[in-house]
Amino acid sequence: MATRGISILKGIEAQEVIGLLNKAYCDEWLAYYQYFIESKVIKGIMKDAAIAELTQHAADELRHATMVADRILQLGGTPALSPAEWMANSNCGYEAPEDPDVKAILKQSIAGEQCAISVYSSLADLTREKDIVTYDIVSQILADEVEHEEDLQALYDDIEEFVEQIRATLE
């Protein structure tokens, strides 16, 4: 175990940070799979634009899982070893895309990002003065999750506007 790196934590136990990071780690795998499978089953208007966004987000969530796993290991912990832990230990859970409609899928994904933003925002608050390395990592991930929410919401709004325009020309 790398003792000096852990010794710089101030007023927080490595075990506490490891526990919280492991929950976020489980979220990232579930988010990865949710985006992956959404990009496969999605149907409907402007779905190509949505597939591009979902595929990019899936790659981002997998990158986040790597960042979080590496930090857990630096702190002397063990990232979740079994997929069975993902559901049991996550903050945000998993919503199967049972309705493949573009708007339904975007809505589910927006809710997932909003949950991720809350998780990383509280992790940032908790570690800010106490564990600056984790703080730096969770801040980077938080910025990505904020971008994800905005990307999906902008796409959702574009689709609604497009549908409205078509409706107006038909009247």
Chain positions contacting Fe ion, by CB under 5 A? 28, 61, 64, 145, 148
Distance (Å, whole) CA 147 – CA 91: 20
- Least distance between Fe ion and beta carbon 48 (Å): 20
Would you say 59 and 140 are in contact if contact means Cβ atoms under 8 Å apart?
A: no
Considering beta carbons, is residue 131 or 151 the nearer one to Mg ion?
Answer: 151
- Least distance between Fe ion and beta carbon 146 (Å): 9
- Which of Mg ion, Fe ion, none has residue 151 at its interface (CB below 5 to 8 Å by kind)? Mg ion
- Least distance between Fe ion and beta carbon 64 (Å): 4
Considering beta carbons, is residue 30 or 159 the nearer one to Fe ion?
Answer: 30
Residue nearest to Mg ion (CB): 151
The string of DSSP letters for 18-43 reads: HHHHHHHHHHHHHHHHHHHHHHHH-B
The neighbouring-strand residues paired with 101 are: 43
Residue of 54, 166, 169 lying closest to 107 (CA atoms): 54
Helix (H) / strand (E) element for 143: namely helix 132-170
- Which of Mg ion, Fe ion, none has residue 149 at its interface (CB below 5 to 8 Å by kind)? none
Residue of 65, 71, 73, 66 lying closest to 132 (CA atoms): 71
Considering beta carbons, is residue 56 or 78 the nearer one to Mg ion?
Answer: 56
Which chain residues interact with Mg ion by CB under 5 A? 56, 151
- Which of Fe ion, Mg ion, none has residue 145 at its interface (CB below 5 to 8 Å by kind)? Fe ion
- Least distance between Mg ion and beta carbon 57 (Å): 6
